[in-house]
Structure 1
């Protein structure tokens, strides 16, 4: 990408929003092109400014962040990615945001460098989850798998040991460069393993791959 990453910030608390904007503007490679105080404004700004990313709070007036995310991701053309930045880490909020199409879910209490790294990773096409959020998803999926353990189901797809290693690191919140360093692989090789795993699991992105692998008891 040439030029700064263009971002719309959506948060209904002016002081919090100003702090986020200040953090982003100080990064050097990020540019705030719009500020929204509710979900309706976020959708409108995403349409009018066509940013690379919308940094989305969840509980906002008029239209909540999950519904705003769904509308933004459903828009025609090259829809901007959405990274949720919120204080809420309950199953209800996490699942709603991911199902709406968010590419990441971070908490406002995260270190500033983690938030900035998450923004860059999501714009690069990766999925970013706060560690506590990933843990919540693991617990939820395992509980659902246990509840349905008595039902008959086809055998899970055969993922290779390396594909499983890569998915375990994705579930832990690692980015492609981090996975490559951990497993002593090239980033292109990591992407290839992920593509094969996606195909075998019948999914199209990292979050759904991890969720599906957990449902099948592979992770």
Structure 2
């Protein structure tokens, strides 16, 4: 069953879309978020197709989603979450995606972040409302049980913020840009479309406050990003 919200302008808090096919979990999550006072659940759905459609219609601030969901109504749940995340990022780049999953293997976390997720937590997380606020501010939220392994070769997070307020997906792409990789090679490495890579490169340039890709690469290397790598 899907419950959807309409954007009437009466809600001034953060607008959240919940994507999960476990009704009991969704019910509890909705209650926690609504009780927070500054968060409005703009919609719920249980599959990837409806998730993308609702994001297009509602333009939520944050999408909370499981990685294992049915691709479409009536299908079996599978690890299609990364594909859904990529589609959301393409269609609504201003919307943040926070994964809530039972899977804590580093490869699942890495795949989700490469797809464009802004955070990854286990469903047992005690304060999801605060995590929503953090992600909405442009900061990174990562489960500590996998964070140390995943970020072993990444920069340290300062108060949850990566350099230049990049998301983890943007940071990983900037590293590849600084290594001299072109968009096609980056797309293959991160399993993204070349269009998504080009759009993300522009977002990175905006955050670095530079005019073009060459300046972005130069600034990244000056700050130690990718400087130690060879193409």
Same fold per superposition (TM over 0.5)? yes
State the shift of 1:214 in Å: 10
Count of residues paired in the alignment: 163
Structure 1 counterpart of 2:66? 57
Q: Which runs of 5+ in 2 are unaligned?
A: 1-10, 73-79, 179-200, 208-219
Query: Counterpart of 2:124 in 1: which secondary structure?
Result: coil
Aligned pair partner of 2:53 in 22, 44, 55: 44
Aligned pair partner of 1:19 in 28, 34, 37: 28
State the shift of 1:101 in Å: 0.1
Aligned pair partner of 2:97 in 53, 60, 82: 82
| Contact 1:138-1:214 at 8 Å conserved across structures | no
Which one has the bigger helix percentage?
1
Structure 2 counterpart of 1:3? 12
Query: Counterpart of 2:18 in 1: which secondary structure?
Result: strand
| Contact 1:7-1:51 at 8 Å conserved across structures | yes
State the shift of 1:116 in Å: 1.7
Q: Distance in 1 between matches of 2:119 and 2:12?
A: 22
Q: Does 1:69 align with 2:85?
A: yes
Query: Counterpart of 1:62 in 2: which secondary structure?
Result: coil
Q: Distance in 1 between matches of 2:129 and 2:39?
A: 9
Q: Distance in 2 between matches of 1:196 and 1:24?
A: 25
Query: Counterpart of 1:74 in 2: which secondary structure?
Result: helix
Query: Counterpart of 2:64 in 1: which secondary structure?
Result: strand
State the shift of 1:27 in Å: 0.3
TM-score, scaled relative to structure 1: 0.65
Q: Distance in 2 between matches of 1:73 and 1:56?
A: 13
Structure 2 counterpart of 1:123? 136
Q: Which runs of 5+ in 1 are unaligned?
A: 143-166, 177-190
| Contact 2:21-2:47 at 8 Å conserved across structures | yes
Q: Distance in 2 between matches of 1:72 and 1:50?
A: 10
Structure 2 CA distance for partners of 1:196 and 1:61, relative to 1, 3 Å? closer
Structure 2 counterpart of 1:108? 123
After TM superposition, the structure 1 = structure 2 runs for residues 64-213 of structure 1, keeping only pairs within 5 Å, are: 64-75=80-91, 78-112=93-127, 115-138=128-151, 141=153, 167-170=155-158, 174-175=159-160, 194-195=163-164, 202=178, 204=204
Q: Distance in 1 between matches of 2:156 and 2:71?
A: 38
Query: Counterpart of 2:99 in 1: which secondary structure?
Result: strand
Q: Distance in 2 between matches of 1:45 and 1:168?
A: 35
Q: Distance in 1 between matches of 2:54 and 2:23?
A: 17
| Contact 2:118-2:139 at 8 Å conserved across structures | yes
Instruction: Report runs of 4+ in structure 1 exceeding 6 Å deviation.
Output: 212-215
